[in-house]
Structure 1
Amino acid sequence: MSWIHRPHGRRNVLTTAMGLAVAGAVPAAHASSGPAHPAAPAAAQSSGDALADYTNPVIWQDFADIDIIRVGDTYYYSASTMHYSPGAPILRSYDLVNWEFAGHSVPVLDFGTKYDLNGGRGYVRGIWASSLAYRESNSTFYWLGQIDFARTYLYTAASVEGPWSRHATLDSVYYDAGLLIDDDDTVYVAYGNTEINVAQLSADARSEVRSQRVFSTPASVGTLEGARFYKINGNYYIFLTRPANGQYILKSASGPFGPYALHEILLDLPGPIAGGGVPHQGGLVDTPNGDWHYLAFIDAYPGGRVPALAPVTWNQEGWPVLQLAGGAWGQSYPVPAVPEPPRQVEPLIGVDTFPGPALGPQWEWNHNPDTSKFSVGDGLTLRTATTTYDLYSARNTLTHRIQGPTSTATIELDYSAMADGDRAGLALLRDSSAWIGVKRDGGGTRVVMIDNITMDSDWNTVSTGGEVAGTAVSGGRVWLRARADIRPGDGRQARFSYSTDGSSFTDLGPAFTLKNDWHFFMGYRFGIFNYATRALGGAVTVGRFELSTP
């Protein structure tokens, strides 16, 4: 990765942060053989340090529709990304608390030209809830998800860093899929909305052998979806969410096709973030010593959906029991007792100078990029890829998640090679957006704030925005800054500023009020862009990006 460590990097626990996988670690994935009634947690980590407490959310960034697995002593976390590319990011941890970016399961959204912003748009489509699994028999990671409610795709890789290879399955639509690799190496998928189904796949997992409805959700419960599929102590479990306030589980002692009994895990449970929603839709995972934990997400708009962790025990009937604190999902719990990690994980915030040869996995483009129009190495060079007045139609907008509860993004922008009519800068990107950046018109250069860039409910552009503040600049280099408050609630704001020397910043324009409804699903992101309004040919170089807190 290209992160430079910074002293302000967020630490969630009082002990040393955990690190990466050890080569050759013994895998243990969804088909867990862990006990249904695990032993009491150990009193200390193997290093001999007393356990500290962690605080929720364990990551205050937008990583929704969680699937989590353990492979040996290492945990992997997959999430949704909708229209961002590459898709299906994977995070890695050694303690379930401290995480780092590791890779993406879907290298490019090659599901039609709309994902290229070419003759259409893929906003709020693309990568929805999907599943990650590890198959011990061939030492391979599997990712499976449906696209556009039309087809399901399978991707495989020997390591989460890739390369990942795509394999199209049947035209079956495995909505909110949950993969299970059974003890006998058979591959199953649990999926569906309200009507829950199980499919058995072929030995290579690229075709369907059998599919059967296994459960119909009672009207008294409502909607169940977001399936995660497990085999624990001989029982089959399908973990399901009731969006956005409940979590249920199905159990079968008779095999993957049931019959299944239903059990409520939580409903309307107070969460650990003030103003945030009920923790739900995530996954169960065990530690090497047999302790269990539930990683769920919390609706926390305008920032998105962020993960919270809580320990789980099992009752005598074989049902998981969430461990509460004062009748709520705890704001803190003891750090899981885990083996000593080999090294610290990389921080999720810090400085990137884009040394190359490629972007780090912390970055995702708004739709697929035109790869001929950017380069990485001694900075990020963005050549204009689109002629438009619409930020939402501009290709090669590079995005980064915002760190909560508040954080600041700063870029160093060399605009000396901009062409007349070009626009380049730093945005707060969602269905209601604003940006600070450089406009070059008539040979003159100004730094401006643009507000009121909006979409309608079908994700069509309603307004391309207007300039609310601006001033002339010269010298070819400017520092642009956006500070965002993404605590859940109405009226959260972002502010923009600029500098011509990299140290003294001047506010520009009024505060921008962030939109906090859920319908766009993804939370606000910082976006770096460069587009033309007249003709292609101009370029800018971003020499430095810094994400800092508070």
Structure 2
Amino acid sequence: MGRLSNLIPLVALLSGSATSAAIDQTSIHQTRATDFSNPVLWEDYPDLDVFRIGSTFYYSSSTFAYSPGAPVLKSYDLVNWTPVTHSVPTLNFGGRYNLTGGTPAAYVKGIWASTLRYRSSNDKFYWYGCVEFGKTYIWTSSGTGAGDKDGEVDPADWAWEAHPPIDKCYYDSGLLIDDDDKMYIAYGNPNIEVAELSDDGLSQVGSRVVYRPPSGTTIEGARMYKVGEAYYILVTRPADAEWVLKSTSGPFGPYEQRELVTRISGPLRNAGFSHQGGMVDTPNGDWYYVAFMDAYPGGRIPVVAPLRWTDDGWPELVTDAQGGWGASYPVPVQTDKSVPDGKQILDEFTGAELSHHWEWNHNPDTSRFSLAGGDEGGLVLQTATVTEDIFSARNTLTRRVVGPKSSGTFRLDVSKMGDGDRAGAVLFRDTAAYIGVWKQGDEASIVVVDGLELSQGSWTTVSTGRVAETGPVVSNADDVWFRIEADITPAFGTNTARTTTFSYSVDGGETFVRLGPAFSMSNTWQYFTGYRFGVFNFATKELGGEVKVKSFQLQPL
């Protein structure tokens, strides 16, 4: 969903790489099952762009101000996915993305509906994204022979390189690499344009409008394809429909239009309509449409359904018996290959890099964190900001909450905190709450703080929160466990507030004690990103203190 979609009344439309992680693979995959269930990935991966190289599928998504940006996931069956890289290792969009000037910083800006494709002629991946309606930024990476290796790229081999941006906004763009190796990008709102790129893909040759919707109609989220001799552009009419534009006269049209889905029911209650996404074929020639559902408070989550083709060359969605988006379908690809399951993961931060499940709240201060390495592992977070406001604090590390319910448990060594430091585990969004340690002088106490809030629209800090309840003094403790239990079952468009609870352990993680009232999450869409688990450490007096994050455990509930 593009930036202009924040003007649409959505509610009225309602019906990794595991470099640093020790993966617990006891949780159940959908791999090799006869059928799969929607959603295929109950995590906030919106504005998706999906494509295939050989037998490997890739999926690119939006991340706004979170860094690194534009995560890439891979799958062998369109059902089980794992993150393997980020196309934008650092947000090179300007100083506000470094969070050095407080809020509003870059919250709800940054990477929206971008595009990613692989070009076999030079073995290179291309990522394009328009930032703040201004320039289109470009990052590329060698495919290290992906075209010859059935689409496989070793996660260690991704090496993303920034290029000078194009001085034009390819708003909500979709890249096509044609049979003759020419590169085109479809983009725009409400008019859809197609640009031809230079041979190296780093500049524009020309651009023209190829489709104008009826007056007053908003369309965006363009994804461009060639199937046979016809060109197709999928666009969304936010937030309840997907249209197909088709040309048999070349990439610049003219284009005809048909509806793919409109206000389609299912597959989840209290969630938006399935819309905006892309289509992809399997190695045996079957086609699928991958879309997302607005499923707040958890964000926008992907769903998959098969396509069939009409005799005159238009894709149609295969619906369930009631004409809705199916809660389940046959698995698209039966394969013995599998990817690590992110639904149940223990990360002890033992590698040389963070896994691609993790993203910072903005570009981090790289001098203020480190991976300890060795057998013990751990992530050392030194205080990076002096502030009373967690939204202004650098180096808050986040990962998506897994639905419908899950817990995130952080183990922290708090023995080196300084006077005035605050560290702990946060449920992070524009309204937020946390459980952590406040260090005052020589005394450290466990607290729950809620009421943290950014103003909607300006994204400046409205409230730095209040202490909802104080727990025990832990001044002599080294390790404290903090647990967040979150229910992100969709409640979009309802008055139902899903809740989160906080607890702690000071006996080696054996017994957890709940602290503070249940926190009511927001179902609003304007911040776009869903709730995340996060870990933080900031100073209120002076820099110098640190904590070590010894582990994180994600557990479905």
Shorter-chain TM-score above 0.5: yes
Superposed, 1:448-459 pairs within 5 Å as 448-457=447-456, 458-459=458-459
Partner residue, 1:92: 74
Query: C-alpha distance in 2, partners of 1:486/1:194?
Result: 32
Matching of residue 244 in structure 1 with residue 239 in structure 2 = yes
TM-score of the aligned structures, taking structure 1 as reference length:
0.91
Query: C-alpha distance in 2, partners of 1:276/1:177?
Result: 25
Query: C-alpha distance in 2, partners of 1:479/1:9?
Result: 23
Partner residue, 1:510: 517
* Of 195, 199, 206, the match for 2:202: 206
Number of aligned residue pairs: give it.
Answer: 512
TM-score of the aligned structures, taking structure 2 as reference length:
0.90
Partner residue, 1:314: 309
Matching of residue 56 in structure 1 with residue 38 in structure 2 = yes
Partner residue, 1:522: 529
> Contact 1:68–1:284 (CA<8 Å) still a contact in 2?
yes
> Contact 1:94–1:341 (CA<8 Å) still a contact in 2?
no
Query: C-alpha distance in 2, partners of 1:348/1:76?
Result: 19
* Of 534, 540, 545, the match for 2:547: 540
Partner residue, 2:460: 460
> Contact 1:349–1:403 (CA<8 Å) still a contact in 2?
no
Amino acid at match of 1:4: A
Partner residue, 1:28: none
Deviation at 1:264, TM superposition (A): 0.5
> Contact 1:9–1:548 (CA<8 Å) still a contact in 2?
no
Partner residue, 1:101: 83
Amino acid at match of 2:234: F
Identity, in percent, stands at 51
Q: What is the alpha-carbon root mean square deviation over aligned residues? A: 1.2
Partner residue, 1:135: 119
Matching of residue 277 in structure 1 with residue 272 in structure 2 = yes
Deviation at 1:101, TM superposition (A): 1.0
> Contact 2:293–2:300 (CA<8 Å) still a contact in 1?
yes
> Contact 2:423–2:436 (CA<8 Å) still a contact in 1?
yes
Amino acid at match of 1:478: V
Deviation at 1:6, TM superposition (A): 2.6
Q: 1:329 to 1:346 in 2, by over 3 A?
A: same
Query: C-alpha distance in 1, partners of 2:304/2:447?
Result: 42
Secondary structure of the corresponding residue to residue 85 of structure 1: coil
> Contact 2:80–2:341 (CA<8 Å) still a contact in 1?
no
Deviation at 1:348, TM superposition (A): 4.3
Partner residue, 1:41: none
Secondary structure of the corresponding residue to residue 166 of structure 2: coil
Amino acid at match of 2:224: F
Query: C-alpha distance in 2, partners of 1:157/1:241?
Result: 29
> Contact 1:311–1:322 (CA<8 Å) still a contact in 2?
yes
Partner residue, 2:486: 484
Matching of residue 9 in structure 1 with residue 27 in structure 2 = yes
Query: C-alpha distance in 1, partners of 2:339/2:201?
Result: 35
* Of 170, 177, 187, the match for 2:183: 187
* Of 499, 503, 510, the match for 1:497: 503
Amino acid at match of 1:304: G
Partner residue, 1:38: none
Query: C-alpha distance in 2, partners of 1:53/1:425?
Result: 40
User: Which of 473-482 and 298-307 deviates more?
Assistant: 473-482
Deviation at 1:304, TM superposition (A): 0.1
Deviation at 1:10, TM superposition (A): 4.8
Which deviations, in whole Å up to 9, do the C-alpha atoms of 1:219-263 show, x marking residues without a partner? 37x211000000001100000001110000100000000000000
* Of 225, 238, 255, the match for 1:260: 255
Partner residue, 2:146: none
* Of 112, 133, 139, the match for 1:155: 139
Superposed, 1:412-431 pairs within 5 Å as 412-431=411-430
Query: C-alpha distance in 1, partners of 2:28/2:351?
Result: 25
Deviation at 1:337, TM superposition (A): 3.1
Deviation at 1:406, TM superposition (A): 0.3
Deviation at 1:274, TM superposition (A): 1.4
Amino acid at match of 1:138: N
> Contact 2:362–2:394 (CA<8 Å) still a contact in 1?
yes
Amino acid at match of 1:290: G
Deviation at 1:439, TM superposition (A): 0.5
Query: C-alpha distance in 2, partners of 1:177/1:214?
Result: 14
Deviation at 1:73, TM superposition (A): 0.3
Deviation at 1:321, TM superposition (A): 0.5
Partner residue, 1:25: none
Query: C-alpha distance in 2, partners of 1:139/1:529?
Result: 39
Query: C-alpha distance in 1, partners of 2:165/2:194?
Result: 15
Which deviations, in whole Å up to 9, do the C-alpha atoms of 1:369-404 show, x marking residues without a partner? 000000112101000000000000000000010000
Deviation at 1:139, TM superposition (A): 1.2
Which deviations, in whole Å up to 9, do the C-alpha atoms of 1:285-322 show, x marking residues without a partner? 00010000011000000000000000001001111010
Secondary structure of the corresponding residue to residue 192 of structure 2: strand
**Uncovered stretches (5+) of structure 1, i.e. residues with no partner:** 17-50
Q: 1:431 to 1:343 in 2, by over 3 A?
A: closer
Amino acid at match of 2:360: W
Partner residue, 1:20: none
Query: C-alpha distance in 1, partners of 2:54/2:184?
Result: 22
Deviation at 1:166, TM superposition (A): 1.1
Deviation at 1:409, TM superposition (A): 0.3
**Uncovered stretches (5+) of structure 2, i.e. residues with no partner:** 1-17, 144-152
Which deviations, in whole Å up to 9, do the C-alpha atoms of 1:35-76 show, x marking residues without a partner? xxxxxxxxxxxxxxxx61100000000000010010010000
Amino acid at match of 1:88: A
Query: C-alpha distance in 2, partners of 1:413/1:107?
Result: 26
> Contact 1:10–1:347 (CA<8 Å) still a contact in 2?
no
> Contact 2:383–2:545 (CA<8 Å) still a contact in 1?
yes
Partner residue, 1:33: none
Deviation at 1:271, TM superposition (A): 2.2
Which deviations, in whole Å up to 9, do the C-alpha atoms of 1:61-105 show, x marking residues without a partner? 000001001001000000000010000000000000001111000
Query: C-alpha distance in 1, partners of 2:130/2:161?
Result: 16
Query: C-alpha distance in 1, partners of 2:461/2:256?
Result: 46
